[in-house]
Chains A and B, each alone.
Chain A
Amino acid sequence: MQKLQAIGRRPIYVLVFLVGIIAFLWPLGLPVSVQPDTLTVYKALDALPAGSLVWFGAEYDVSTKPELDPQVVAVFHHLFQKNLKPVIYGMWLRGPTIVQGLVEPIAEEYGKQYGVDWINLGHKPGTSTNLRLMTSNITEGAAGVDHFGKPLANYPIMRNVTALDKASGFRHVVIAEAGTPGNREYLGIVVKEKAIPMSVATLTMSIAENKPFVVAGDFTGQIPGLRGAAEYEYLVGKAGKGASGTDAQSLAALLVFGLVVLGNIGYLTSPRR
């Protein structure tokens, strides 16, 4: 029994690999129930009038792509289904580039034209200071150019947009965030000062951290991790990587649960305890 406390890391790695491979190759098709936090985000975006601008904060990097990409894809399906106009921006260097790659095929699927129906302002240095500048002057905040270095004045979507505020037509902010700078910066600058509602697509790790802000009404809701992606995919009717990852995630949770129980049995039966 005491050996249960001393299981090496390599056998655990092998088990983790096997569980993942089995779940992907022979999916169980476990049902996905939609949690209230995800549903609130969906309903908030669903209720926006067509043509509204939605600010999308791409606040993550390659290291968190596996969790946040499926959420971003599901949300953009929804935005384009509802004929909303996303404006992408990132305080994180690589965020807008990652999101650009995800959005292009979705925009093509819905016949949405870059610069007319959506735009990517790219990453600009200055983190929260620059975000604050965006709320008074987007052209200055973006150095007058989009993600590709082309003048913003060339794009019809930016014709009447001067700042990240309600007067310019922004009705909601969605951010996919993996840390700082992220939701706290948006909360102080955009939600509190500009009164624009905000939803957060977040990592599984940050669910508990963000929950107080959801309860306090600071965030409209949060899409929680890979599971949240599966829920949002279900809501928009577009099964993707969130849904396919849910089986593996559930089996992994069971595996970890089993290992924790085994470890504790080893501890409780240990004579040295």
Chain B
Amino acid sequence: MSFDFPSLLSADGAPVWAAALCTLAIWTFLIRDNPIYRLAEHVMVALAAGWGVGYYYYSYIHPVITEELIGQGRWFYIIPIILGLFLYTRFIPSVSWLARYPMSAYIGYGAGYYLAFNAKPFLSQVTASFVSFSQPAFTGTLNQIVFFICILASLVYFFFTISKERPAMGYASQLGKIVILIALGAHFGNTVLYRYNLFLGRLSYVLGEWMGLLQ
């Protein structure tokens, strides 16, 4: 096992050095907040913002203006462009009220859009909970019974208008709480592993692509 760093002055090696050093700089935050971490953070934010502006211009704004607005004569595009520019009037106090128009349009469209289209995916979740207990295998049937009981118990937990002092409701609510806690535990466990996987990805890069220790 020996180190095999790429050449810092080569076209392929320089980006690897930059990426690895930025990763190490970010990791220094684990000790405490420090200027090296801050530098890497600011470089990342600045690069991302600059890159985004350039990308939007060349892949969307420029072709829409040259091809569609001017080329195909879609002059009505000027209306949303003007509305969009109104957003920047927030920086001029005397006409800042103009910024409310694009926001109104945006919020109105967004609310209507979500009401119109977002219900459909969730309805299939409801119908999917109408399970059949007659499965070919016993384990399948058992799974469906457990699934059915857990759904009912979880729903009972969220009945706030019926007293939980009645024994049936109380026990069902307790079971619902346990089911929800198990689900949250699974979610939490997955989240811990996910964070670790992100770290592993960078560690693999530092050990492999930069230090050349991995085959």
A-side interface residues toward B, CB under 8 Å?
Answer: 10, 13, 16-17, 20-21, 24-25, 63-67, 69, 93-94, 97, 122-125, 128-129, 143-145, 147-149, 184, 187-189, 191-192, 203-209, 212-213, 215-218, 225-226, 241, 244-245, 248-249, 252-253, 256
Residues of A within 8 A of B214 (CB): 24-25, 244
Return A22 CB to nearest CB of chain B, in Å: 11
Also in contact, A144 and B200, with CB within 8 A (given A204-B190, A205-B194, A244-B214): no
Our pick among B59, B121, B194, B197 for the contact of A192 (Cβ within 8 Å) is: B121
Are A24 and B186 neighbours in the complex by a CB distance under 8 Å?
no
Our pick among A25, A147, A184 for the contact of B59 (Cβ within 8 Å) is: A147
Are B63 and A20 neighbours in the complex by a CB distance under 8 Å?
no
Residue of B nearest to A66 (CB): B201
Are B60 and A25 neighbours in the complex by a CB distance under 8 Å?
no
Return A87 CB to nearest CB of chain B, in Å: 16
Mark B191-208 against chain A: 1 for CB-CB distance below 8 A, else 0: 111111111111110011
Binds A, one of B112-120, B134-142, B158-166: B112-120
Residues of B within 8 A of A148 (CB): 59
Interface of A is mostly: helix
Are B121 and A64 neighbours in the complex by a CB distance under 8 Å?
no
Are B193 and A123 neighbours in the complex by a CB distance under 8 Å?
no
The CA-CA distance from A204 to B194 in the complex, in Å, is 5
Also in contact, A66 and B198, with CB within 8 A (given A143-B64, A144-B63, A147-B59): yes
Are A144 and B59 neighbours in the complex by a CB distance under 8 Å?
no
Sort chain B's interface into a size bin: 35 or more
Our pick among A122, A149, A184, A207 for the contact of B190 (Cβ within 8 Å) is: A207
Residue of A nearest to B67 (CB): A144
Are A21 and B198 neighbours in the complex by a CB distance under 8 Å?
no
Q: Which 9 pairs show the lowest CB-CB distances between chains A and B?
A: A66-B201, A216-B128, A205-B194, A204-B194, A187-B121, A226-B197, A143-B63, A252-B196, A145-B63
Are A188 and B194 neighbours in the complex by a CB distance under 8 Å?
no
Are B194 and A216 neighbours in the complex by a CB distance under 8 Å?
no
The CA-CA distance from A63 to B41 in the complex, in Å, is 13
The CA-CA distance from A266 to B48 in the complex, in Å, is 45
Are A188 and B197 neighbours in the complex by a CB distance under 8 Å?
no
Also in contact, A122 and B207, with CB within 8 A (given A93-B52, A204-B197): no
Residues of B within 8 A of A226 (CB): 197, 200
Mark B39-65 against chain A: 1 for CB-CB distance below 8 A, else 0: 000000000100110011011101110
Are B193 and A244 neighbours in the complex by a CB distance under 8 Å?
no
B10 near A: Cβ within 8 Å?
no
B125 near A: Cβ within 8 Å?
yes
The CA-CA distance from A63 to B31 in the complex, in Å, is 21
Residue of A nearest to B117 (CB): A188
Beyond the given A69-B201, A125-B56, A128-B117, please list 16 additional residue pairs across the A-B interface where CB-CB is below 8 A: A13-B30, A20-B203, A21-B207, A24-B208, A25-B214, A67-B197, A188-B120, A204-B197, A205-B191, A207-B190, A212-B128, A218-B124, A225-B190, A241-B201, A249-B196, A249-B200
